[in-house]
A and B are shown apart, each in its own frame.
Chain A
Amino acid sequence: MGFVGLGKRLLEAVFIVFCIITINFLLIRFMPGDPVVHIIGEDEYLRLEAEAPEVIEEVRREYGLDKPLPIQYMTYLNKTLHLDFGNSYRTKLPVLETVLFRMRWTLLLTIPAIVLSSLLGGWLGLRAGWRKGGLLDSIVSPIMLFLNTIPTNCMAILFLMVFAFRMGLFPIGGITSGGLSGLEKAVDILWHMALPLMILVILRTASYYMLMRSTVQAIRNEEYITVAQGKGFSQGQVLRRHALKNALCPYLTSVCMQFGHILGGSMLVEVVFSWKGMGTLIYDAVNAKDFPILQTCFLFIGICVVGFNLLADVLNMLIDPRLREEGRHA
């Protein structure tokens, strides 16, 4: 295993996270207007400016905005390292707690969605790609292609109308009905999860399917597949021994990229189903100009994307000896 290459990737990842933190800091500072406006709201700011300017200065001091930029930056870095992200402008609650709480609900939705869809889409794509023009390919491919073209929010609203509103099979939105505990609560949450999860699974399965199918189709034409058949292995054996592992590299990379988006990627579905996860948190925070929340969410999402990209690199290195070699010379 090329430890040098791995170490290099790790350093790169740390550097990128550092950049994200810095950009996060600068983004807010370079926005037009006085930050205090964003903190206390425009109406309040205008009123105070006319009636009691000293209050504005007090707020400025309280948030450390009167100090020079480098000092603000150092304070910011220090606080970030200690996971102190301040309080929400809107609810005045500690940001970290809020974000972590919301994150749980998002993960509850997205982890099963990615696991289910990557297995289902991968398996179907593998079968369909191996027998191009076969029964599975001709039936499933057009359906998947169609699903792939539907925007998430469009499908979410459609499902909401048909299955929840018209047929009344599922709740309109939310996470739980409240007033329940234990097993009943778990079942209730599952019931609320069903529709958003279904949409996420369907849409992601479609894209995983298309990816796996085209990868396997390309691999099927490779010389070593013919050679393996020439050795006397059956179709199934060739698929398992030679095609699967070669298809896995690009596929795992793509799945890991998706995992990078487990925090922010389900925003549209969350908003439509008023699922109180990170997606709705970001959505509400944007509307309310709640910057500490937004900064923290962006940071977490950024770390997630970088982390899973790193994981994809490591997995690929484990699978492909050529990448290990490259790392060794690096």
Chain B
Amino acid sequence: MLEIEEVSIRFGHNPEVVSDATFTVNDGDRLAVIGETGSGKSVLLLAALGLLPASARITGSIRLNGRELLGCRERELSQIRGKEIAYIPQGSGNGLNPLYTVGRQLCETIRKHRPCTRKEALLQAAALLESFGLEHGEDLCRSYPFQLSGGMRQRVLIAMGIAAGAELVLADEPTKGLDRRRITLVEDAFHRLGERTLLCVTHDLRFAKAISSRVIVMYASQQIESGDSRSFFEEPLHPYSRAMLEALPEHGLHANMGFAPPRQDQDARSDCHFYDRCPWRSERCRNAPPMLAVGERKVRCWKYAD
């Protein structure tokens, strides 16, 4: 169980990139955090891993199975990373070191947390790759990252993330830069994660729909909506969520609200973060709305206050 409570993050004296994020990922949950680039979702993931640069200032609390991670010593964190929390990077980047074979990088992860011989680790690695639908695991172990396709690399990275047996998987835009067919393969790999708890940050709505059981939407550093995946995709509550789902290509090629203008002097403003773009805005939106409960779901919009 990962509990994130009132977490705010800023770099130096810049405006907050994440403000007051509060949510819990229960064991077995598959939570997708949706938001556009720059909405602060990736930063939140790195904060949970303790991998933000020194210039980041974090307040609040991030607890893994009741244990506080913020302010934890580097040594303790490195015991948790890989072993209890798996990290899966973006699909487009080079998450695999170009100079080492796939097998070597997988073994490195396995042997870091469970001492065993290289041979044993290699067998495990091959089996693990095969369990993710990658054929010829042993051959794959001998190849270098540049010899694999983008979709294969990403599936290798997913396997590598959980190689040391982590039960909580943090994925950072795992489909970024992949085409539709490759994304389907990655979706398949995520389904093979089984009972593991998943926290996946993405701006790919279809991917989020395919893999998640719960959804959180972030906009301009804030959480603006959360709820179970099915009802969210059937009927989004927040005007931003609605606009986002309407903009999917299957609803025709139009962005009915235009593109996001940069939000200026955020710290000085007290209105709703979505005020400038909202089609439903009214006088009371000049005051920032709190998270309001709508049944089992939550949304940050005054429209649901009554």
Binding site for B on A (CB under 8 A): 133, 222-224, 226-235, 241-242, 245-246, 319-322, 325
Contacts and interface: CB of A to CB of B under 8 A. Distances in A.
A245 B164 contact: no
A6 B93 CA distance: 30
16 contacts: A133-B54, A222-B93, A223-B94, A224-B95, A224-B97, A224-B98, A230-B51, A230-B81, A231-B82, A231-B87, A231-B112, A232-B79, A232-B112, A232-B164, A242-B97, A322-B144
Contacts of A245: 99
Given A322-B144, A322-B146, A231 B89 contact: no
Interface in B15-70: 46, 49, 51, 54-55
Given A223-B93, A242-B97, A246-B99, A234 B74 contact: yes
Given A224-B96, A246-B97, A231 B109 contact: yes
Given A230-B87, A322-B144, 4 more contacts: A226-B51, A320-B99, A321-B146, A322-B98
Which 5 residue pairs of A and B lie closest in terms of their CB atoms, listed nearest first?
Answer: A230-B87, A232-B82, A223-B93, A232-B81, A231-B82
B94 A233 contact: no
A315 to B, nearest CB: 13
A227 B78 CA distance: 12
B86 A230 contact: yes
Nearest to B83: A232
Contact of B78 (A234, A242, A319, A325): A234
Contacts of B160: 227, 231
B211 interface: no
Contacts of B46: 226
A24 B59 CA distance: 70
B161 interface: yes
- Residue of A224, A226, A320, A322 with most partner-chain B CB within 10 A: A224
B113 interface: yes
A233 B80 CA distance: 10
A222 B160 CA distance: 17
Q: Which range contains the number of B residues in contact with the other chain?
A: 35 or more
A233 B79 CA distance: 9
Contact of A223 (B75, B95, B99, B164): B95
A231 B55 CA distance: 22
B159 interface: no
B90 interface: yes
Contacts of B97: 224, 228, 242, 246
A322 B89 CA distance: 22
Contact of B113 (A133, A232, A246, A322): A232
Given A232-B164, A325-B146, A222 B94 contact: yes
A295 B146 CA distance: 46
Contacts of A231: 81-82, 87, 108-109, 112, 160, 164
Contact of B89 (A133, A227, A233): A227
A319 B98 CA distance: 10
B87 A226 contact: yes
Interface of B: 46, 49, 51, 54-55, 74-75, 78-83, 85-87, 89-90, 93-99, 108-109, 112-113, 144, 146-147, 157, 160-161, 164
Given A321-B146, A325-B146, A227 B99 contact: no
A234 B80 CA distance: 12
Contacts of B109: 231
Contacts of A242: 97
B143 to A, nearest CB: 9
Nearest to A321: B144
Contacts of A226: 46, 51, 87, 89, 95
Report which residue of B51, B55, B97 has the largest number of chain A beta carbons within 10 angstroms of its beta carbon: B97
Contacts of A229: 49, 51, 81
Contacts of A228: 97
A222 B87 CA distance: 15
B224 to A, nearest CB: 27
Nearest to B112: A232
Contacts of A234: 74-75, 78
A313 B93 CA distance: 27
A222 B109 CA distance: 18
A230 to B, nearest CB: 3
Nearest to A225: B97
Contacts of A227: 87, 89, 95-96, 157, 160
A227 B97 CA distance: 9
A241 B80 CA distance: 20
A262 to B, nearest CB: 28
B99 A319 contact: yes
B157 A232 contact: no
A232 B78 contact: yes
Contacts of A223: 89-90, 93-95
B151 to A, nearest CB: 16
Contacts of B87: 226-227, 230-231
Nearest to B75: A234
Contacts of B55: 133
Contact of B98 (A230, A233, A235, A320): A320
A229 B87 CA distance: 9
B18 to A, nearest CB: 18
Nearest to B98: A322
A306 to B, nearest CB: 27
A230 B99 contact: no
B82 A230 contact: yes
B57 to A, nearest CB: 15
